Amino acid sequence: MKKVLTTCEFCGCGCNFYLGVEGGKVVAVYPSVSHPVSRGMLCIKGWQGHEYIHSPKRLVMPLIKERGEFREASWDEAYQLIADRLKQTRTQYGNDSIALLSSAKCTNEENYLMQKFARAVIRTNNVDHCARLCHASTVAGLSATLGAAAMTNSIDEIENAEVILVTGSNTSEAHPIIAAQIRRAVRQKGARLIVVDPREVPMTKYATLWLRQKPGTDVAWLNGMMHIIIRENLWAKDYVAQRTEGFEELKKVVEKYPPQVVEEITGIPQDRLAEAARLYATARTAMIFFTMGITQHTTGTDNVKSIANLAMLCGKVGIESGGVNPLRGQNNVQGACDVGALPNVLPGYQSLADSKVVKKFEKAWGNKLPTSSGLTVVEMIKAAEEGKIKAMYIMGENPMLSDPDLNHVAQGLKKLEFLVVQDIFLTETAQLAQVVLPAVTFAEKDGTFTNTERRVQLIRKAVEPLGEAKPDWQIIAELSSKMGYHMGYDHPEKIMDEIAQVTPSYGGIDYERLENGGLQWPCPNKTHLGTKYLHKGQFARGLGLFQPVEYLPPAEVPDEEYPFILSTGRVLYHFHTGSITRRAQGLAEIYPESQVEVNPWDAKKLGIDDGAMIKLTSRRGQLKVSAKLTERVPQGLVFLNFHFAEAPANILTNPALDPIGKIPEYKVCAVKVEREAEQ
């Protein structure tokens, strides 16, 4: 059996494993024992998720829609049609009438080419990807406070942390291997764990303290902790004086959040909040981990700023086993951001507003570039609905399940004059396209992913592409050449060399140097060994900036008509919109259909039995799904995953946006819960 070392294509942990190949097919998976993250472990998705690679439902030929039906086409015919229609749209309506979605599932090289195609070929900054829907507020919040939008520390530092604070993260299900490291730190090294979460997530079993806040009240408890830390003189005075600015402004704001006020807003008992504040502030090393429970709010950027404020106040950033650590959801969401698949920055987060930067890229790419910021994911769909966006090109994303308020997403996409989707399956979004291009899986191509701890790692081709499917980088390059802008790359390695030339933080990265476990950026030159933790000695922005924020309630709160809060998220066995994991037999068999978590007391009042079909209704839509009665959710809260098209959670969610990060409020919307009438 041939064994090919590669990087997992699911979550941002970035585990490595060997794909076992026999007869041209992936038939087995073996974890890599020497890998710094996985250390010989894998979660069930790593073990079994690969079964979709050889699915008979894979796209194997380009498809063109005629009279409402798809027919197979040659690559040349598909490219010609796309090139003609995009050029025609540009001539008729202008460059900014076209929008492009890149993908956190694709490689760095593919994301780099997609944003280059948008900027240098289509000449628009309307390019974005699903980071907008998970960590846009992290990018905004950490850039403003620390000056770098990434996890500050490394996964292997977890075992030496004295205190670990996990909030808004169901780590055991969304980042299982990081959860395993946290459990090991608690059980074998005596770390004390604080979990702050409205749900009784599995990690609460290992917690010294579990604080159960009301959904959407994070700024209040974070300000409350800082209030106590300042009042009890537990803050890091020298660190704050030497390394930060804005402390007096912070102090003024957090003064307004004494524990009794915080208890009224959040429901967290005063003594528990004080205990958590003391535990965190007095630890020598303490790491904070968070995910979408923090970011997916209209106050997402404020929440992230508050976390950074707390960590700086206690001197916990810029040290080993410390820091502010957003866990990135998808395999390459960090990398897709790093290489510029965002509407307001060029690769390496270099500003579109800086004329020197723009000139550098114009010289490198040989074309004039647009300089005004483009539209974000949700804004693109809204603009399509309003008739301002006329054509979209979507690579590897499925907004028909992933975006909020799906009825409006469908209206927007149906109103487009031209839609191209490039994917491995005929997803819900691809079904609406005029042209569908067959891409390949991670096992059929070379490239790199960047995991949540900024580790750039190789993926290696193990099997040949199915049918006529091609890697996304090759499709973009060929289409670009068809449109008159030559992209002559013959291998992704050449694309990485170009990324390194224009992106300072990737400056020292090349494929040869990535052979043994990857490199963590910043890695500015060929002799640099990569960076284990950020902000050592000095913050990326110079001084760390306290950005005090006031508590604001969620955009939609329960009322008489919609008395429950709906929160959405993941389950262990599935990933994103389920387009991959639901086609992996082993996973689909374990978790075959969606379930909504309902508290047993609420269920009793509503006459709902375990497993019964119930109806959830919000101001935007309704769906039916079976109920799972569990005390994991408190009374008044229901929790639904977003993996199943049959019960699409986002038909209900609120598209209200965080004003800075432009991330939708997936974590709180008001719903009605009803027993479904028996037939």
Q: Which residues bind ligand SF4 (CB under 6 A)?
A: 8, 10-11, 13-15, 38, 42-43, 45-46, 176-177
Smallest distance from ligand SF4 to CB 570, Å: 11
Of the pair 303, 332, the CB lying nearest ligand SF4 is at: 332
Smallest distance from ligand SF4 to CB 7, Å: 8
Q: How far is CA 673 from the centre of its chain?
A: 29
Of the pair 73, 158, the CB lying nearest ligand SF4 is at: 158
Smallest distance from ligand SF4 to CB 451, Å: 8
Of the pair 8, 383, the CB lying nearest ligand SF4 is at: 8
Smallest distance from ligand SF4 to CB 92, Å: 44
Q: Is the peptide bond preceding residue 655 cis, with omega within 30 degrees of 0? A: no
Of the pair 155, 637, the CB lying nearest ligand SF4 is at: 155
Exposed e or buried b for every residue in 381-413, given b needs 16+ CB within 10 A? bbbbbeebbbbbbbbbbbbbbbbbbbebbbebb
User: Would you state the structure tokens that stand for residue 485, as one six-digit string?
Assistant: 């802008």
Smallest distance from ligand SF4 to CB 45, Å: 4
Q: How far is CA 443 from the centre of its chain?
A: 22
Contact 72, 62 (CB under 8 A): yes
DSSP H or E run through 654: strand 654-657
Distance CA 566, CA 502 (A): 43
User: Would you state the structure tokens that stand for residue 321, as one six-digit string?
Assistant: 């086993």
Torsion from C-alpha of 468, 474, 476, 480, nearest 10 degrees: -110
Q: What is the DSSP letter of 51?
A: G
Of the pair 42, 279, the CB lying nearest ligand SF4 is at: 42
Smallest distance from ligand SF4 to CB 32, Å: 11
Name the phi and psi angles at 589, rounded to 5: -70, -35
User: Would you state the structure tokens that stand for residue 392, as one six-digit string?
Assistant: 């979209």
Smallest distance from ligand SF4 to CB 649, Å: 21
Distance CA 521, CA 657 (A): 30
Of the pair 462, 596, the CB lying nearest ligand SF4 is at: 462
Smallest distance from ligand SF4 to CB 47, Å: 7
Q: Is 553 exposed, middle or buried (0-12, 13-18, 19+ CB in 10 A)?
A: middle
Q: Which residue's C-beta sits nearest to ligand SF4?
A: 46
Which residues are registered as beta bridge partners of 674?
A: 615
* Nearest residue to 4 (alpha-carbon basis) of 39, 45, 50: 50
Contacts of 216 (CB under 8 A, 6+ apart): 297, 299, 553, 554, 667, 668
Smallest distance from ligand SF4 to CB 177, Å: 4
Of the pair 45, 119, the CB lying nearest ligand SF4 is at: 45
Of the pair 42, 540, the CB lying nearest ligand SF4 is at: 42
- Distances in whole angstroms, Cα of residue 402 to Cα of each of 55, 378, 468: 22, 11, 28
User: Would you state the structure tokens that stand for residue 332, as one six-digit string?
Assistant: 């390459």
Smallest distance from ligand SF4 to CB 572, Å: 9
Of the pair 550, 589, the CB lying nearest ligand SF4 is at: 589
Contact 29, 20 (CB under 8 A): yes
Of the pair 8, 292, the CB lying nearest ligand SF4 is at: 8
Distance CA 632, CA 612 (A): 18
